[in-house]
Structure 1
Amino acid sequence: MAKLAAMEQGAVFRCQLDQLLTQAGSSLALSSLPALSLYHSGREMTPHLPEGILGHVLVGPPPGDAAILLGGFNFHVGNNSGKHKEKPYSDPKKSSKKRHAVTTVNLVLLGMSGTGKSASGNTILGQKLFVSRPSSKPVTKKCQMEETEREGVHLHVIDTPDIFDDDMKSSVRDKHVKRCEQLYESEPFVFVLVMHVSRFTDGERDIMEKLEKVFGREAGEQTIILFTRGDDLQQAGLGLEDFLHTCQPDLKKILEKCGNRCVLFENHRSDSAQVETLMDKVIRVTEEKQT
């Protein structure tokens, strides 16, 4: 009988919640939420929500409260107290300590001189550990690795000289490549090909061929394009999608070889969102490689 009563009360709560949400439409008025008691044995209920509202109901044991998760907020309603507590909703799926199949990743920054490899590395690290400054000559002279943790993943960020420079002696290039491979070979790795968003040079037209020649034909499957100087697009009133839609055919071919994986960075701004976007792609690439 007690179990049946709990189920009936749960159904009544579901009905009342549906009515409230239907009346609220796409915006939820907190003042419209009545205090409700719910006696239920710790299971989850998902009410039918009108279009534009996302949420679900978590039910605690008697005389537990109902937690209504809606629109980025966590509303606790219960015990007929008449008081409504409101706090930001923390999605456990977006916790800073995410669990991934891959716990350590080597991020190899590649690209031509002046594209912003070192500056991008510093943005990823969250501190200036790679030398980065305006110069008419290449600044990075050797491979350098620094470490950080992002999205629950331990990152080895590897900065490299311009190994695509046609004027570089083959013996010097081979030395840099060998050192780079020594740094990333012990863990899953992802190549990050850094390119200037508003400058596509003749030397970059065959950059994927050069990359595959050095690191193997399947290198593109583990490569993400990182475009720097994101503010250039913003000043032109363009987004990344606009840029990709109108970019040169040769650049589109490079993107296609990398599975159209790309991100936009502005290294003059401290913006964690751009690093999170990169990390989402890095994790996806490494986990797909392991399956």
Structure 2
Amino acid sequence: MAAMSSASDTGDHRGRHPPERRLLILGGPRSGKTSSANTILGDEMFDAGTETTHSNVGQTEIYGRRVTVVDTPSWAIPADPEDDEEPDTDDNAGAESDSPARPQPSLDSEGPCMGAILCPPGPHAILLVVSITQPFSDRERKAAEEQLGALGGGTWRYCMVLFTGVDKLPKGVFIEEHIANTGETLQWLVERCGSRYDNNLHCMEL
């Protein structure tokens, strides 16, 4: 697995090569990860109309700085235990014993570790993409913890939350108000990322 990197991990290259930024994008289903990656890259490098099934790498230059962006498959949302409960009716008698057990979500080679490997020696920053149109529940929180845990200790200090779909907020409602009113799980995520969040890719400091 590629290690996380600080901005100075490759030494002082001033005067020889432009500085570089490596970004790893993580998020749940329909969060807007791929569209966000395309916005950063300034081009439709990735297909935002289909589900991302493997990690993709794109590069561009922004103000003389090379920027590498890795888009990853959506993180696996843990199954709700209540979904596994079968109604106790005659029609479903024996269904539990005849049906295979639902597999638990797992992190495979196309998860965050593969994404980190694709931007060696490791990402400078991890963008956790969250759509304001999708609930961020305790299940999403567990998925985020699994993803970041797979990358090793200390990973959270490189993370920031990137909110998408902000144009869907009611008129006059700012993202800070949305965070405060949505619930403890979203507040937990923002705090876990050191209160680093943004909703305007064009204003991000790369």
Fold equivalence (TM over 0.5): yes
Aligned to 1:163: 75
The code of the aligned residue for 1:209 comes to E
SS of the residue 1:174 aligns to:
coil
CA contact (8 A) 1:211 1:219 kept: no
SS at match of 2:168: helix
The two structures, once aligned, show a CA RMSD in angstroms of 2.3
- Residue in 2 that maps onto 1:17: none
Q: Is residue 156–residue 192 contact of structure 2 (8 Å, CA) maintained in 1?
A: yes
Query: Secondary structure at the residue paired with 1:114?
Result: coil
Change (3 A) 1:114 1:188: closer
Alignment partners' CA distance in 2, 1:164 and 1:124: 24
Match of 2:154 in 1: 218
Counterpart-to-counterpart distance in 2, 1:277 and 1:258: 18
- Tell me, yes or no, if the aligned pair for 2:162 and 2:197 is still in contact at 8 Å: yes
Higher relative contact order (CA 8 A, sep 6+): 2
Shift of 1:243: 1.8
Does the CA-based 8 Å contact 2:75-2:143 persist in structure 1? no
Instruction: Say whether residues 1:252 and 2:165 are aligned partners.
Output: no
CA contact (8 A) 1:105 1:187 kept: no
Distance 1:276 1:141 in 2: 27
What are structure 1's unaligned runs of at least 5 residues? 1-98, 265-273, 284-291
> How far apart are the structure 2 equivalents of 1:258 and 1:207?
15
Could you tell me how far 1:219 is from its partner in structure 2?
Answer: 1.4
Cross-structure match for 2:62: 150
Residue 185 of structure 1 is aligned with which of 78, 95, 120? 120
Corresponding residue for residue 90 of structure 2: none
TM-score relative to the length of structure 2: 0.71
Instruction: Tell me how far apart the structure 1 counterparts of residues 189 and 136 of structure 2 sit (CA, whole Å).
Output: 13
Q: Distance in 1 between matches of 2:109 and 2:25?
A: 16
* TM-score relative to the length of structure 1: 0.51
Deviates more, 1:235-244 or 1:122-131: 235-244
Distance in 2 (CA, whole Å) between partners of 1:201 and 1:258 is 15
Offset, 1:151: 4.2
Q: 2 CA distance for matches of 1:151 and 1:116?
A: 25
1:153 Cα offset (Å): 2.5
**Structure 1 residue 129, shift from structure 2 partner:** 1.0
Does the CA-based 8 Å contact 2:148-2:155 persist in structure 1? Answer: yes
Give the whole-Å Cα distance in 2 for the aligned partners of 1:187 and 1:103.
Answer: 15
Deviation at 1:140, TM superposition (A): 0.5
Between the two proteins, the alignment pairs up a number of residues equal to 164
**Long gaps (5+) in structure 2:** 1-13, 79-102
Bigger Rg, which one: 1
Task: State how 1:26-175 maps to structure 2 within 5 Å.
Answer: 103-133=19-49, 139-166=51-78, 170=106, 173-175=107-109
Determine what percentage of the aligned residue pairs are the same residue. Answer: 26
Displacement, 1:115? Answer: 0.6
Q: Deviations over 1:125-158 (max 9, x none)?
A: 111111112x6xxx10110000112244311110
Residue 199 of structure 1: how far off its partner (Å): 2.1
- Tell me, yes or no, if structure 1 residue 242 matches structure 2 residue 177: yes
Counterpart of 1:186 in 2: which secondary structure? coil
